[in-house]
């Protein structure tokens, strides 16, 4: 599979849940420290082509596809806003929504995969906010973390449960029906940058930290991690469970590698991809095509490749 | 005002109504007027938006359908004026900020190359509108060139960057946060100076709005520090000063710097050289002393060194790391620059200076004498105040706040403290002691948690010590289901006969049934030491480790069980492989089950194994088979229930637990499990009753306390959380009778 070069530094990459040949990429100028951002929607084929791109005034740190409409994308912008784009409209008519409530950088968004009506945003203002596409203001604000919230993910089975990962060294489990978090997981000694739920066991969660490790937890017994996956040489930036194999996950790190793990087996590391030449910050696994991976990094390159092949192979 | 401020509608031009007075906004409005109105309408009627799916995009479900929304509303209605705010926000959302976006979008190409300009601009292009890529990267490149040509780099070109306050804040905040991800291995101090170096070379004050790190593990320290600051030198306004000071410190984003300073001081070695270094430097610069800057230079050099040491060519080539490190090196040239007064009179500097010089020991005396002339407490205070005054323009709020306070009083207080040495005693030392204590506690905690996994902890008061036959007594109590009593009796037995495998085994089982797996494992390990081939012990250890989700250990014991079983020993290869794989062990047990299909034990082990691999359907099948062979085994019913609960069949699980409890009414674990199953079904009130029942029988079941706490908060019974935290069973039992 070929490569796509973006003008800015990659920040996040997501496969469309509706079309196997579509990928959205969030990018930011100057490593996201200062400057513009751009959302790319890419078409996969013999070559990767750009279907459309949207510019933003500040960096784009993350994005997610709507689970209910195939043309909607929610982007998390560094200026603290969330912007909703409709691919079926021309770029001049976009964004169709700009939701600006977070006081600081938005670093993560996730669309509800069960009820499909709402999405969450994680921000450096220490809060998580719950939104629906049809409301101009957030439905709820979850403020408990003591430092930046980097990532938030809905539970794949329970429509009201989600997890958040924060720089306060905890991951928290929440139920939107409850006033506060239902569980605090002091998962690492260092900042936690990412978390994800197992797609096959609704009690299993993985956390990725600046301490270079990924830990897998059973939320029913959070004193001991199920597994500790060591191997990354720098902070682990993102972790993502496979939609096809319960114990498999992908991760990417500031050590510039993308790795695949199976936490159930003794030698958990089952794949290592060294194709990026700068920090690898975004990784995703296709729901529609088993084994198809995508990654992006600060080398401004987006790769899409089937597991087991060389991402750089033409 | 920079373009970016204008287009972003930064604070200074955020008043929406004033857009007409904003020439750019007016221009943009004129230019964009028609198109922005069209889009406005699109927004108002979003359902008219054509989409590929053609469905109704928005509002398919009324808001009330979204659970949890009522919680937010409750909060809003309770807060005065928040409705207004929300209204304002929504107005702002639909109207003004969109309008700003509108205006802003056409501006993007100006520094983005969207109109076909190449992204890498020639170096001479410095007539910049915004803070674009090309300047920063040019900055970076000129750094690279200066390092190659061994020319001193002069950041004179930097002012043309024209970074707006908003941009500076972005750089400051984002680099501070990112640096902590990049340099996680390094000390907080290193990271701070790294960021400071970068910021000062970009001419950015690391001031008020910068976001310091507040990692969870330091919060206690900071709290304590704040407490220790609570010395009250005078009645008026001094509290205000203290809070102002600490607030200002915190706002400056370097509360940790102080902490680090302390750590460094107590870490001794590194500090000495640092001190020497800054002494030399500070003699020159005593008036405008800039120890953090000097330290930053030192740290930049350290970073360069670190980078040079990293042999990974990828890292050598990483543009980002070059970006950071080269920027940092700009610090070297800043000596030629004027020091920003803000950097001189940072409150933090004072603390640093004081600390460093105070701890300097002998040389401190001389230094202090010198200082007296320059910076005697009064002088210092005056100078500080004076400098603050100068600073009104930039930080007038703080300055005016400060000048309101009686500086002299404070200075006197300070002097007095210095004179009688109480300052160090009351504040610094006690703080340091508390820090040491905290560290020791942490270590002790770690050791404890380590120890508790292997060591059996005996109860303090045991009435059965001295009993003529505690084993018999223990067995009897166990049979009657008085588990906590049985534990005591059996403890007395194993204290008397440490080699009694049966005593240890039964003790382990009693603990397991009492829902205390840690103690169960510890007891079973002792039993295992005494009698390494006891099948019941091996099986129990396998189950307990499965409960604790320790797969490797669980597999080891289950495998040993097979190895030592008279019937199946032949199936297992005699030499135990170093690493057991789940699949291999499962195959062996399946073979065993075929060999003897009517042996309930094999099915039990199979059930446990399937639990390990989370194949709950198969596990349930295995336990059901075992139960057909042995329907009176209450622990089997419990296992079946637990497995059903794990596979989200909580209703079935409750039936299984009921069977177990019918057979053994005092089975604490089954009571607790029952509670879990109710909680899983969202019946939190019910679950609380069962947890309380289990805890009434064994208050030492730590897991159950945790579950109880979760259920209490889920059932919104926060009023009972205190009773839970203080483990007040009496109150809980009264509140939640079963």
- Per-residue pLDDT of A276-298, as tens digits, reads 988 899 999 999 999 999 999 98
CB neighbour class for B366 (10 Å; exposed up to 12, middle 13-18, buried from 19): exposed
DSSP letter assigned to residue A221: B
CB contact under 8 A, B59 and A55: no
Q: Where are the alpha helices (DSSP H) in B291-346?
A: 291-309, 313-317, 319-329, 341-344
- Confidence class for position A46, pLDDT limits 50, 70, 90: confident
Interhelix angle for B377-390 vs B392-404, to 10°?
140
Contact between residue A272 and residue A263 where contact means Cβ atoms under 8 Å apart: no
Candidates A210, A4, A146, A295; CA nearest to B218 is A146
Does the pLDDT at position B264 exceed 90? Answer: no
- Confidence class for position A158, pLDDT limits 50, 70, 90: very high
CB contact under 8 A, A256 and B35: no
SS3 A183: strand
Most confident of A237-241, B378-382, B471-475: A237-241
B545/B517 Cα distance (integer angstroms): 8
Side by side, the strands of the sheet bearing A269-273 are: A236-241, A248-253, A258-262, A269-273
CB contact under 8 A, A140 and B549: no
B188/B166 Cα distance (integer angstroms): 25
How far is Cα of residue B314 from the mean position of the Cα atoms in its chain? 30
Greater model confidence, B215 or B650 = B650
How far is Cα of residue B131 from the mean position of the Cα atoms in its chain? 34
Does the pLDDT at position A84 exceed 80? Answer: yes
The length of chain B in residues reads 738
Q: What's the gap in Å between the CA of B385 and the closest CA on chain A?
A: 33
Q: Residue A277: closest CA among chain B residues belongs to which residue?
A: B314
CB contact under 8 A, A201 and B614: yes
Contact between residue B137 and residue B320 where contact means Cβ atoms under 8 Å apart: no
Dihedral, A243, A248, A249, A255 alpha carbons, nearest 10: -150
Q: What's the gap in Å between the CA of B377 and the closest CA on chain A?
A: 37
DSSP per-residue letters across B479-509: HHT-HHHHHHHHHHHHHH-TT-HHHHHHHHH
Q: How many CB atoms lie within 10 A of CB A308?
A: 9
The lowest-confidence range among A166-180, B313-327, B351-365, B632-646 is: B351-365
- Confidence class for position B285, pLDDT limits 50, 70, 90: very low
Q: What's the gap in Å between the CA of A290 and the closest CA on chain B?
A: 22
Q: Which residues contact B666 (CB under 8 A, 6 or more apart)?
A: B480, B481, B482, B483, B697
What pLDDT, on the 0 to 100 scale, is given for residue B734? 86
Contact between residue A30 and residue A38 where contact means Cβ atoms under 8 Å apart: no
H or E element in which residue A109 lies: strand A106-111
Tokens, residue A131: 């939104």
**Phi/psi-derived region of residue A256, left when phi > 0, alpha when psi is between -120 and 50, beta in every other case:** left
CB contact under 8 A, A70 and B57: no
The lowest-confidence range among A23-32, A192-201, B550-559 is: B550-559
What pLDDT, on the 0 to 100 scale, is given for residue B23? 39
A21/B423 Cα distance (integer angstroms): 68
What pLDDT, on the 0 to 100 scale, is given for residue B454? 65
Greater model confidence, B71 or B239 = B71
What pLDDT, on the 0 to 100 scale, is given for residue B44? 34
What pLDDT, on the 0 to 100 scale, is given for residue B431? 52
Cα–Cα distances in Å, from A174 out to A58, A101, B233, B479, B710?
30, 20, 45, 42, 12
Candidates A95, A12, A100; CA nearest to A60 is A12
Contact between residue A41 and residue A53 where contact means Cβ atoms under 8 Å apart: yes
DSSP letter assigned to residue B428: I
Half-sphere exposure of A103 (CA within 13 A, CB side): 9
Contact between residue B402 and residue B244 where contact means Cβ atoms under 8 Å apart: yes
In a mutational test of the B interface, the residue from A8, A40, A69 whose CB has the highest number of chain B CBs within 10 Å is A69
Q: What's the gap in Å between the CA of B416 and the closest CA on chain A?
A: 38
Sheet strands (E) in B502-562:
none
What pLDDT, on the 0 to 100 scale, is given for residue B501? 86
Q: Which residues contact B331 (CB under 8 A, 6 or more apart)?
A: B197, B200, B201, B293, B296, B297, B300
Task: Tell whether A179 lies on the interface with B, counting CB pairs under 8 A.
Answer: yes
CA Rg value for chain A: 18
What pLDDT, on the 0 to 100 scale, is given for residue A40? 94
- Per-residue pLDDT of B653-694, as tens digits, reads 888 998 898 888 888 888 988 888 888 888 888 889 999 988
Query: Judged by CB atoms within 8 Å, which residues 471-500 of B form the interface with A?
Result: none
Candidates A137, A140, A139, A193; CA nearest to A169 is A193
CA max distance for chain B: 101
What pLDDT, on the 0 to 100 scale, is given for residue A225? 92
What pLDDT, on the 0 to 100 scale, is given for residue B406? 46
What pLDDT, on the 0 to 100 scale, is given for residue A213? 94
Greater model confidence, A308 or B212 = A308
- Would you say the C-alpha torsion A45, A48, A49, A53 has a positive or negative sign? positive
CB contact under 8 A, A169 and B614: no
Does the pLDDT at position B28 exceed 80? Answer: no
Interhelix angle for B600-612 vs B634-646, to 10°?
30
Q: Which residues contact B105 (CB under 8 A, 6 or more apart)?
A: A55, A57
What is the ipTM score, two decimals?
A: 0.84
Does the pLDDT at position B302 exceed 80? Answer: no
Does the pLDDT at position A246 exceed 70? Answer: yes
Nearest residue, CB atoms, A254 vs list B51, B181, B703: B181
Contact between residue A109 and residue A149 where contact means Cβ atoms under 8 Å apart: no
- Per-residue pLDDT of A206-243, as tens digits, reads 999 999 999 999 988 878 899 999 999 889 999 999 99
B213/B179 Cα distance (integer angstroms): 11
Nearest residue, CB atoms, A57 vs list B98, B104, B317: B104
Terminal-residue alpha carbon distance, chain B: 70
H or E element in which residue B225 lies: helix B216-228
Task: Tell whether A20 lies on the interface with B, counting CB pairs under 8 A.
Answer: no
What is the pLDDT averaged over residues A44-59?
Answer: 90
- Confidence class for position B412, pLDDT limits 50, 70, 90: low
B222/B102 Cα distance (integer angstroms): 45
SS3 A269: strand
- Per-residue pLDDT of B415-427, as tens digits, reads 555 555 444 444 4
- Would you say the C-alpha torsion B543, B548, B551, B556 has a positive or negative sign? negative
- Would you say the C-alpha torsion B115, B121, B127, B131 has a positive or negative sign? positive
How far is Cα of residue B275 from the mean position of the Cα atoms in its chain? 33
Nearest residue, CB atoms, A31 vs list B131, B216, B320: B320
A41/A44 Cα distance (integer angstroms): 10
Contact between residue B408 and residue B378 where contact means Cβ atoms under 8 Å apart: yes
What is the pLDDT averaged over residues B263-285?
Answer: 42
A3/A140 Cα distance (integer angstroms): 39
Task: Tell whether B614 lies on the interface with A, counting CB pairs under 8 A.
Answer: yes
CB contact under 8 A, B57 and A35: no
Q: How many CB atoms lie within 10 A of CB B29?
A: 16
DSSP letter assigned to residue B310: -
- Per-residue pLDDT of B603-633, as tens digits, reads 888 888 888 888 888 889 999 999 998 888 8
Most confident of A191-200, B275-284, B548-557: A191-200
Cα–Cα distances in Å, from B200 out to B230, B274, B293?
33, 21, 9
DSSP letter assigned to residue B427: I
B458/B437 Cα distance (integer angstroms): 27
Contact between residue A108 and residue A154 where contact means Cβ atoms under 8 Å apart: no
- The whole-chain average pLDDT of chain A stands at 92
CB contact under 8 A, B93 and A136: yes
DSSP letter assigned to residue A289: S
* Percent of chain B whose predicted confidence (pLDDT) is above 70: 41
Does the pLDDT at position B155 exceed 60? Answer: no
Q: What's the gap in Å between the CA of B246 and the closest CA on chain A?
A: 18
H or E element in which residue A11 lies: strand A9-15
Q: Residue B58: closest CA among chain A residues belongs to which residue?
A: A134
- Confidence class for position B32, pLDDT limits 50, 70, 90: very low
Contact between residue A95 and residue A83 where contact means Cβ atoms under 8 Å apart: yes
- The whole-chain average pLDDT of chain B stands at 61
Strands A258-262 and A269-273: antiparallel
CB contact under 8 A, B53 and A70: yes
B374/B289 Cα distance (integer angstroms): 12
What pLDDT, on the 0 to 100 scale, is given for residue B276? 43
- Would you say the C-alpha torsion B444, B447, B453, B457 has a positive or negative sign? negative
What pLDDT, on the 0 to 100 scale, is given for residue A171? 94
Most confident of A251-255, B56-60, B396-400, B592-596: A251-255
B459/B698 Cα distance (integer angstroms): 13
B218/B39 Cα distance (integer angstroms): 49
B678/B680 Cα distance (integer angstroms): 5
What pLDDT, on the 0 to 100 scale, is given for residue B496? 83
SS3 A146: coil
Terminal-residue alpha carbon distance, chain A: 6
Does the pLDDT at position B558 exceed 50? Answer: yes
Query: Judged by CB atoms within 8 Å, which residues 198-227 of B form the interface with A?
Result: 211, 213-217, 219
CB neighbour class for B466 (10 Å; exposed up to 12, middle 13-18, buried from 19): exposed
């Amino acid at each position: 599979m070929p490569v796509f070069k973006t003008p800015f530094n990659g920040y996040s990459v997501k496969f469309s849940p509706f079309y196997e040949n579509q990928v959205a990429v969030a990018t930011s100028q100057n490593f996201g420290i200062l400057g513009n951002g751009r959302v790319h929607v890419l078409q996969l084929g013999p070559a990767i082509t750009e279907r459309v791109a949207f510019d933003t005034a500040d960096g784009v740190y993350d994005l997610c596809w709507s689970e209910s409409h195939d043309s909607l994308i929610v982007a998390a912008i560094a200026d603290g806003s969330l912007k909703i784009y409709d691919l079926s409209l021309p770029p001049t008519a976009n964004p169709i929504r700009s939701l600006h409530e977070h006081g600081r950088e938005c670093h993560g968004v996730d669309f509800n995969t069960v009820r499909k009506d709402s999405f969450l945003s994680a921000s450096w203002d220490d809060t998580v906010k719950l939104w629906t596409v049809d409301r101009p203001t957030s439905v709820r604000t979850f403020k408990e973390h003591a430092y930046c919230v980097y990532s938030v993910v809905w539970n794949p089975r329970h429509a009201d449960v989600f997890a958040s990962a924060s720089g306060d060294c905890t991951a928290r489990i929440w139920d939107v029906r409850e006033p506060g978090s239902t569980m605090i997981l002091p998962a690492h000694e260092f900042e936690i940058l990412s978390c994800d739920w197992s797609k096959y066991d609704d009690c299993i969660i993985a956390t990725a930290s600046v301490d270079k490790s990924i830990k897998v937890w059973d939320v029913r017994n959070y004193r001991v991690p199920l597994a500790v996956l060591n191997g990354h040489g720098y902070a682990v930036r993102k972790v993502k469970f496979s939609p096809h194999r319960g114990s498999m996950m992908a991760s990417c790190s500031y050590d510039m590698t993308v790795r695949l793990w199976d936490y159930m087996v003794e030698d958990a590391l089952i794949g290592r991809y060294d194709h990026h030449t700068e920090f690898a910050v975004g990784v995703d696994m296709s729901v529609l095509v088993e084994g198809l991976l995508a990654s992006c990094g600060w080398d401004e390159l987006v790769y899409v490749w089937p597991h087991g092949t060389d991402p750089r192979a033409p | 005002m920079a373009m970016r401020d204008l287009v972003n509608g930064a604070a200074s031009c955020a008043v929406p109504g004033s857009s007409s007075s904003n020439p750019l906004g007016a221009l943009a409005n004129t230019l964009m007027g028609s198109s922005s109105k069209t889009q406005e309408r699109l927004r108002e009627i979003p359902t008219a938006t054509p989409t590929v799916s053609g469905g109704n995009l928005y509002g398919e479900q009324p808001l009330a359908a979204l659970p949890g929304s009522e919680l937010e509303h409750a909060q809003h209605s309770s807060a005065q004026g928040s409705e207004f705010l929300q209204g304002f926000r929504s107005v702002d959302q639909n109207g003004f900020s969109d309008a700003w976006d509108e205006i802003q979008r056409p501006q993007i190409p100006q520094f983005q190359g969207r109109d076909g300009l190449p992204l890498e601009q020639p170096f001479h292009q410095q007539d910049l509108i915004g803070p674009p890529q090309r300047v920063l990267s040019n900055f970076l490149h000129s750094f690279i060139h200066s390092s190659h040509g061994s020319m001193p780099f002069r950041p004179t070109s930097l002012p043309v960057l024209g970074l707006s306050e908003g941009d500076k804040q972005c750089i400051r905040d984002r680099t501070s946060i990112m640096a902590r991800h990049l340099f996680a291995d390094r000390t907080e101090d290193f990271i701070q100076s790294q960021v400071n170096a970068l910021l000062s070379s970009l001419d950015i004050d690391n001031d008020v709005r910068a976001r310091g790190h507040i990692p969870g593990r330091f919060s206690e320290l900071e709290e304590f520090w704040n407490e220790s600051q609570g010395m009250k030198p005078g009645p008026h306004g001094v509290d205000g000063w203290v809070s102002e000071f600490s607030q200002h410190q915190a706002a400056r984003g370097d509360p940790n710097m102080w902490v680090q300073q302390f750590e460094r001081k107590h870490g001794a070695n590194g500090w000495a050289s640092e001190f020497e270094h800054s002494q030399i430097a500070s003699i020159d610069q005593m008036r405008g002393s800039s120890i953090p800057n000097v330290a930053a230079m030192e740290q930049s050099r350290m970073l360069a060194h670190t980078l040079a040491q990293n042999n990974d060519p990828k890292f050598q080539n990483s543009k980002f790391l070059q970006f950071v490190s080269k920027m940092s090196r700009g610090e070297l040239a800043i000596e030629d620059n004027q020091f920003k007064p803000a950097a001189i009179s940072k409150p933090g500097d004072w603390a640093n200076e004081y600390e460093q010089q105070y701890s300097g020991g002998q040389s401190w005396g001389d230094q202090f004498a010198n200082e007296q002339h320059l910076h005697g407490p009064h002088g210092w205070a005056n100078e500080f105040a004076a400098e603050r005054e100068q600073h009104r323009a930039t930080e007038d709020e703080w300055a005016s706040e400060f000048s309101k306070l009686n500086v002299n009083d404070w200075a006197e207080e300070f002097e007095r403290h210095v004179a009688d040495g109480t300052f160090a005693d009351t504040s610094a030392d006690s703080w340091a002691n508390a820090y040491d204590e905290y560290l020791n506690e942490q270590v002790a905690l770690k050791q404890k948690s380590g120890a508790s996994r292997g060591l059996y902890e005996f109860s303090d008061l045991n009435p059965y010590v001295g009993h003529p036959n505690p084993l018999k007594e223990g067995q009897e109590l166990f049979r009657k289901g008085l588990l906590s009593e049985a534990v005591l009796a059996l403890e007395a037995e194993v204290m008397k006969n440490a080699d009694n495998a049966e005593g240890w085994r039964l003790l382990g089982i009693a603990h397991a049934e009492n829902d205390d797996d840690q103690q169960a494992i510890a007891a079973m390990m002792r039993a295992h030491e005494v009698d390494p081939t006891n099948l019941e012990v091996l099986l129990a250890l396998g189950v307990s480790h499965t409960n604790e989700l320790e797969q490797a250990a669980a597999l080891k014991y289950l495998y040993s069980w097979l190895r030592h079983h008279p019937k199946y020993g032949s199936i297992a290869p005699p030499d135990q492989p170093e690493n057991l794989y789940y699949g291999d062990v499962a195959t062996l047990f399946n073979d065993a089950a075929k060999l003897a299909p009517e042996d309930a034990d094999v099915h039990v082990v199979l059930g446990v194994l399937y639990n390990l691999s989370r194949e709950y359907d198969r596990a349930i099948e295995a336990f059901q088979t075992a139960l057909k062979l042995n329907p009176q085994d209450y622990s089997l019913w419990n296992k079946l229930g637990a497995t059903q609960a794990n596979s989200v069949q909580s209703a079935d699980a409750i039936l299984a637990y009921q069977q177990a409890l019918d057979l053994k009414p005092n089975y604490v674990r089954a009571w607790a499990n029952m509670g879990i199953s109710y909680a899983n079904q969202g019946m939190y009130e019910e679950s609380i009753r069962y947890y309380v029942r289990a805890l009434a029988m064994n208050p030492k079941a730590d897991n159950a306390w945790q579950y109880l706490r979760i259920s209490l908060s889920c059932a919104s019974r926060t009023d009972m959380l205190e009773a839970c935290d203080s483990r007040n069973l009496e109150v809980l039992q009264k509140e939640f009778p079963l």
